[in-house]
Amino acid sequence: MDKLVIEGGKPLSGTIVIQGAKNAALPILAASLLAEGTTFIHDVPHLLDIEVMLNILRDLGCRAEHKGDKVSLDTTSADQSHVPQHLMKQMRSSIFLMGPLLARFGETQVYQPGGCAIGERKIDLHLQGLELLGAKIEETGNRIICRADRLQGADIHLDFPSVGATENIMMAAVLAKGRTTLSNAAREPEIMDLQRFLNAMGAKVMGAGTDTITIEGVEKLNPCRYRIIPDRIVTGTIMVAAAATRGQVTLHNTQPAHLTSLIHVLRRAGIPIVTDGDIIKVSSAVRPEAVERIATAPYPAFPTDLQSQVMVLLSLANGVSMMKETVFEGRLKHVEELSRMGADIRVDKNAAFIKGVPRLYGATVEATDLRAGAALVIAGLAAQGRTVVEQVHHIDRGYESIESMLTALGANITRYATMQNKQFYAQ
């Protein structure tokens, strides 16, 4: 496995253009199956999760090409509705294929998906929604078979505003007969991006961004050209890294409205933030202040995907902060790794109490999941001395060459492949 080696203590400085959003691109790639023909999608980052999704689509009979930031996806020859188990194990977002495959082929066979080990993430809400649309579902072990001659519109209420369930139901309902009303829907920007994409294909979807989405089923969708929104979590990660290293960074291709909760938290910590159109400027020359209480919750509240990164910043703050994780029960594994670097954090169930320290120190740490890995990179950038981050493949699931991104901002960060590591540690 690759490792990142970071020589810390250097403020980030410069300008960066933010990549397209992984969490918008994945369901949109899946939704392309709903129309026969070639769809062109722009601002698609080169990530492990994206490549897994494209490999699944190829296995289903599609022709997919990813050049630069553009994906061309020809679904004309798609003739399979069985998603291979070995590919589903690699990525949780593969579950997005259930809705489109069921809508197009009338059946699909999938398996319980894989992904980061950050706690229990059941797919019950996905299955309940598809059943209400008329699907017959059979579960045998970890295999799930769904069948429906044609889906029927329905009134669906989600017990929890699950992003994945909302997107799967939207994609299935666009070709269903009649109207579907989805209440207590997730409100994330990625939901709004999926609505725009489906409507560009000829769907009739309204209400994304609110808790009620209405879908009028249509007979057919057509391929289109589309550009993915900027990645708000990558944007937030770079913003926090700039603040933690007491640097000055200008971020282009952002949507500040998608990051209102983070901007509010950073300003409470005394970090100056300036927004201008699609540009965000972060500058901080002094130690941040503690933030009394932050709790993660579904959008538009503070995102769980930025919890670990902000915890690094708070571990360097003046005073005691509290971070409560309410979305995933297994998302505090990075605390032990940060403690290796000198952070003073106490965990009580799903709450972390962070007593700020003057500085962190370099250490060898392990990325336990995607966002925890990003947090450890930030810690390494801010720390005194050398930090080695292992299990970098987790980070590669959501950040396109994170070392190149940060090097462009003046960081001293290098990736070492397995053989190079042997040479590196022999020095």
Residue numbers annotated as active site: 116
Going by C-alpha positions, the residue among 2, 9, 44 that lies closest to residue 27 is 44
- Extended beta strands in 228-349, E state: 248-252, 273-276, 279-283, 294-295, 320-324, 344-348
DSSP 332-354: TTHHHHHHHTT-EEEEETTEEEE
328: amino acid identity, one letter: F
DSSP 358-406: S--B--EEE--SHHHHHHHHHHHHHSBSEEEEE-THHHHTTSTTHHHHH
Question: 119: buried, middle or exposed (CB in 10 Å: 19+, 13-18, 0-12)?
Answer: middle
Cα distance between residue 198 and residue 191, in whole Å: 11
Strands 412-416 and 3-7 come out as antiparallel
Contact, 55 vs 90, CB < 8 A? no
Instruction: Name the 3-class secondary structure at 62.
Output: coil
Question: 27: buried, middle or exposed (CB in 10 Å: 19+, 13-18, 0-12)?
Answer: buried
Name every residue whose Cβ is closer than 8 Å to that of residue 426 and which is 6 or more positions away in sequence: none
Phi, psi of 202, deg, nearest 5:
110, 5
Q: How many helices (H) and strands (E) does the chain have?
A: 15, 23
Name every residue whose Cβ is closer than 8 Å to that of residue 276 and which is 6 or more positions away in sequence: none
Other C-beta atoms within 10 Å of 123: how many? 18
Strands 143-147 and 136-140 come out as antiparallel
